[in-house]
Structure 1
């Protein structure tokens, strides 16, 4: 079995760091301490990771081509979760929020 490419693992590691540190997309989430809200509901954290990984694109060389977009879309979901008046633009496509696995 093959391991995930280094660049993919690095993107996941950085996203986890920013998420736990409260620094995901500082412009969009300025003033919103989303960490406690995500930890109270495991499904919310699950969806944030799902969106990030569903959007993450990897080229043939194993390099991530859109980590910023993946993080931005996850941040939009967080913002909507914490602020129901926020409108996600463009709206999420079904494949972006589709949970993987059983």
Structure 2
């Protein structure tokens, strides 16, 4: 077993992202990679090369998405669309600096988690 992994019997004692959160993350990654993330806001913006050029760009997209994402007490995602829009706004501004993000990003939206 690799360090940091758990056996099936250990999983019962570990907290896990809800199925709804995992599905939201999966669809967000799919739309992002497929070029269909908020098609209205990103229409005509070829953002995929910009995201892949430097890892920190893609890292910020996921940071904003997960910082904005809200989950209720049962683990159900309650604002997936809002989280996607905020991430799309950041992408649009990154690719087109003349685009004005409204409302402007708050520090908590762009704060990186972890060490």
- TM-score for the superposition, normalised by structure 2: 0.88
Aligned to 1:60: 73
Structure 2: how far apart are the matches of 1:77 and 1:12?
17
1:5 aligns with 2:21: no
Give 1 or 2 for the bigger CA radius of gyration. Answer: 2
Structure 2: how far apart are the matches of 1:22 and 1:81? Answer: 15
Pairing partner for 1:83 from 80, 96, 99? 96
1:39 aligns with 2:55: no
Question: Aligned partners of 1:67, 1:23: CA distance in 2, in Å?
Answer: 15
Q: Give structure 1 stretches of 5+ with no counterpart.
A: none
Unpaired segments ≥5 residues, structure 2: 1-13
**Deviation for aligned residue 1:41:** 1.1
Greater helix proportion? 1
Query: Could you tell me how far 1:3 is from its partner in structure 2?
Result: 1.2
Equivalent position SS for 1:91: coil
Q: How far apart in 1 are the matches of 2:98 and 2:46? A: 17
Q: Could you tell me the TM-score, scaled by structure 1's length?
A: 0.99
CA drift at 1:11 = 0.2
RCO higher in structure (CA 8 A, sep ≥6): 1
> Would you say how many aligned residue pairs link Structure 1 and Structure 2?
102
